[in-house]
Structure formats: C-alpha cells, structure tokens
Amino acid sequence: MGEKVLMKGNEAVAEAAIMAGCRCFFGYPITPQNEIPEYMSRRMPEVGGVFLQAESEVAGSNMVYGAACAGARVMTTSSSPGISLMQEAISYMAGAELPCVVVNIVRGGPGLGGIQGAQSDYFQATKGGGHGDYHLLVLGPSTVQELVDLTMEAFDLADMYRNPVMILGDAILGQMMEPVEMRKRPPRADLPPKTWATTGAAGRPKNVITSLYLDPAKLEKHNLRLAEKYKRMAAEEVRYATHMTEDADVVLVAYGTTARIARAALDRARERGLRVGLFRPISLWPFPYEALATAAAGAAHVLVVEMSLGQMVEDVRLALGETKPVHFYGRTGGMSPSPREILDDIVKIVERGA
C-alpha cells in the first residue's frame, strides 16, 4: 500500500483525473464543486495541460465536445444546475460517440435549489437527461478513495466504449476529507486507437464527427448500433457491493454517501439483533438488477434510502417486481437521513411486517 494523503473529495477527483492522463479541463464555477476548477487552475499548467474557465456550462461542455473530437482525455465538472445546462452537449457527445468524463457533485434542486448534498439528479443521470435514445455510464462512489478510483477508471471506460461517463457524487463527498491513496493509473493497454479523431486528414481519408442522420432509416440504424453498445455495457460494467445480505431479513439499498449512512444504521440494527443487510449499487447505469434480485432473495423486506423523494427506488422495484415489499425512506432538499431515522424505519418495517 502506498502512502495515504488526506484530501477533499473535490481535490481528489481533480488529481485523479490528472493521474489518469486527463490534460484538458473546461469548467465553470458552482458551489459545492468549486475546489475542482480551482485545483485544476493551479495544477494543469504544472503538468502542461489545459485549464480554461468557460463562460458557461453550455460553452464548457461544448469545449469538452471539441477536445474529445481532437482525441484528448477531457473532463468537466459541475453541480446540478450546471449539469442541466450541459445536457445538450452530453446528448451530442453520446450521439457522436465521444469519450469524456463528466462529474456531477449533486446539490438539492429543483431550480436554483440549495448548496447542500442531494441525490435528486438520479433520473437525469440514468434515464436520459438530454434528448434522444442514449445512455451514459454512471458511477456512484461512496468514499473519497472510491471517487478517485472510479474517476481514473472512468477515462478508460469512456475510451473503451466511446461514450461519456458520468461520476454521480454529492456535496458531502465533494466537501469531505478522507485519506486516499493516489495510485497513478496509466491508460489501459487494450484501448482502441482513436482513429476517428479530427486531427487533420494527413495520409488518411478525412474524418467527420457528427450526430446528424437526416434519413430516419439511417438514424434508426445508428441508434440500434448504439443500443448494441449499451447492451455490451450492461453485460460488462455492472458494479455493486453487498454487506451482510446473506442472512438479512431487511435489505437496505442505497448508493453514494447515503449507503454510508445506511451502513451506520445497519451496524446499530445488528447490535440490536436485527438481521439487516446492505446492497450498494456502484454502477447506477447499468443498474445491477440481477445482482440485487439475488442479494435480496432471502429477505422479507427491502428498504431503499435516498437523498431524494424516491428515484432509484423505481429501479429497485424493476429489479424485484412483486416478489416482496419495497419500502422507501428519503430526505431531500439538501437534508440527509440520519442513521437513527433509518433505524427507526427498519424497526417499524420489522414490527409491522413480522
């Protein structure tokens, strides 16, 4: 194990990107992720990279589109209102099959909302966000170390699938400090060369990057080809973690920071002799439907906990169908559930359900 350093999630994400070979960053300030562009403004010049504060998220995300066209490893980061403005470019990048990494340090909405952490952008991240038939690969880390590791991996996944990858964090993860080990991670050796990049048609036929297909038959074909890719992603890139689900009567399902709070509730429940387990989706798209069904197979109840009014719960219901009751507990607007609140809900479910 290498040496650990104490880092804020936001700064760790920035350094992780640099270590993964990201040399282009475009962004626009927004709380609670300002430390990312601020860190990049210091660090990028040191490593010979590009930092540019765009005039808006609309522009910044289209700068990402451009840099991705040029074959660069490129990232942008923002928080909810800014991510909404990026949806146009994200849709275009999905359509044109451009690799990039987008980090959303989620805050409470809708509208201007607030600046405290939330998970209310789950639908936007996993069910579309922009227009068209497309998917992002969406990863939801729950510790600063996992934020670092997944960010580094996100660049490989983006290049591998030629698809935007989103890291769905939240303000708590961005603002907190935790020890992390920064392992340099060179790009995977088996990545396809970027022969499609628009770097000048020297000694090769010209490259054109577009998402325009005026002929509906061609656009349909393009969409079907993308769908094949999403199928491959769904088969290969499912990630999740379980904790004490084997004997659990109640399985908690939570992602990101909320999974940690749920874990604290689990520990207290176990102290009281309640058999509680935790299923934590890490890939939010593709969602681990089958793994969840397996992990919760022996449980009588499933309790989904989110910092929203219930978004991921829809995927949990899809995974479990009518096999068992799926309960929900959520706080929203930047409030987070406390372990005690979750424990109270567990107790209620057990007492009512037994």
Partner 1 sequence: MHEEVIFAGFGGQGVLLMGQLVTYAGMMEGRNVTWMPSYGPEMRGGTANCGVVVSEKEIASPLVSEPTSVVAMNRPSLEKFQGMVRPGGLIIYNRSLVDVKPARNDVRVVAVPANQIADEIGDVRVANMVALGAYLGVTRVVGVDTVLEAMKKVLPERRHGLIPLNQQAIARGMEIAVSASAAR
Partner 2 sequence: MQKVFGRPEALADVPTHYCPGCTHGIIHRLIAEVIDELGVRERTVGISPVGCAVLAYDYFNCDFVEASHGRAPAVATGIKRASPNSVVFTYQGDGDLASIGAGEIVHAASRGEKITVIFVNNAIYGMTGGQMAPTTLPGQKTTTSPRGRDPEVAGHPIRVCELLSSLSGAAYIARVSVTSPANVAKARRAVKKAFETQLEGKGFSLVEFLSTCPTNWGMTPVEALKWVDDKMAVYYPLGEYTRVPEVG
Ligand X SMILES: Cc1ncc(C[n+]2csc(CCOP(=O)(O)OP(=O)(O)O)c2C)c(N)n1
> Which residues lie near partner 1 (CB under 8 A)?
4, 6, 31-32, 115, 172, 175-179, 257, 260-261, 263-264, 266-267, 336, 338-340
Q: Please state, in angstroms and rounded to a whole number, the distance separating the CA atoms of residues 291 and 305.
A: 18
Closer residue to partner 1 (CB): 20 or 150: 150
Say whether 216 sits in a helix, a strand or coil: helix
Residue from 37, 49, 82, 141 touching ligand X (CB under 6 A): that is: 82
Q: What is the pattern of x (binds partner 2, CB under 8 A) and - over residues 27-66?
A: -xxxx--x--xx--xx--x-----xxx-xxxx--------
- Closest by CA position to 281, among listed 145, 154, 140: 140
294 binds partner 2 (CB under 8 A): no
Q: Near partner 2 by CB under 8 A, which window of 22-30, 129-137, 149-157, 291-299?
A: 22-30
Which strand (E) or helix (H) includes residue 74? strand 74-78
Tell me the two tokens of residue 33. 């992720």
Q: Please state, in angstroms and rounded to a whole number, the distance separating the CA atoms of residues 85 and 107.
A: 15
112 binds partner 2 (CB under 8 A): yes
Closer residue to partner 1 (CB): 323 or 338: 338
Residue from 66, 71, 81, 187 touching partner 2 (CB under 8 A): that is: 81
Are 10 and 39 in contact, with CB atoms under 8 Å apart?
Answer: yes
129 binds ligand X (CB under 6 A): no
Nearest approach in angstroms of CB 82 to ligand X is: 4
- For the sheet with 240-243, list strands across it: 240-243, 276-281, 250-253, 301-306, 326-330
Residues 222-240 as b or e (16 or more Cβ within 10 Å = b):
beeebeeebeebbeebbbb
Q: What are phi and psi of 26, to 5 degrees?
A: -125, 130
Closer residue to partner 1 (CB): 145 or 311: 145
What does 310 interact with, of partner 2, partner 1, ligand X, none (CB < 5 to 8 A by kind)?
Answer: none
Angle at 80 between CA 78 and CA 86, to 5 degrees: 65
Interface ranges with ligand X (CB under 6 A): 28-30, 57, 81-82, 85
Interface ranges with partner 2 (CB under 8 A): 28-31, 34, 37-38, 41-42, 45, 51-53, 55-58, 81, 111-112
